Amino acid sequence: MKKHYDLIVFDWDGTLMDSADLIVRSIRAASRDAGLPEPSEEASRHIIGLGLTEAMMHLFPQAKHEDCQLLSERYRHHYLLACEEGLHLFEGARETVVALEEAGYLLAVATGKGRRGLDSAFESSGLGRHFHASRCADESFSKPNPAMLFELMERLGVDPAKTLMIGDTTHDLLMAENAGVKSVALCHGAHPREALESCSPLACLNDFEELKQWLHDHA
pLDDT at res. 63? 84
pLDDT at residue 84 in the model: 61
The one catalytic residue in 13, 18, 33, 168 is: 13
Q: Give the span between the Cα atoms of 52 and 15, in whole angstroms.
A: 17
Dist CA 214 CA 205 (whole Å): 9
pLDDT per residue over 31-47, tens digit each? 999 999 999 999 999 99
Class (C level, CATH) for 7-19+87-218: alpha beta
Catalytic residue among 11, 67, 159, 172: 11
7-24 pLDDT, tens per residue?
Answer: 999 999 999 999 889 999
- Measure the N-to-C terminal CA separation of the chain; round to a whole number of Å: 10
User: Is 11 a known active-site residue?
Assistant: yes
Question: Which residues, given as ranges, of the chain have pLDDT below 70?
Answer: 1-2, 84-86
Q: Where in the chain do CATH 1.10.150 domains reside? A: 20-83
Residue ranges, comma separated, of all CATH 3.40.50.1000 domains in the chain are 7-19+87-218
Whether 13 is a known active-site residue: answer: yes
pLDDT of 62: 86
pTM of the predicted structure, to 2 decimals:
0.92
Strand order in the sheet with 133-136: 133-136, 106-111, 7-10, 163-167, 182-186, 204-205
Q: What is d(CA 167, CA 177) in angstroms, rounded to the nearest whole number?
A: 12
pLDDT, position 86: 66
Could you please state the CATH topology (level 3) that the domain comprising 20-83 is classified under.
Answer: DNA polymerase; domain 1 (1.10.150)
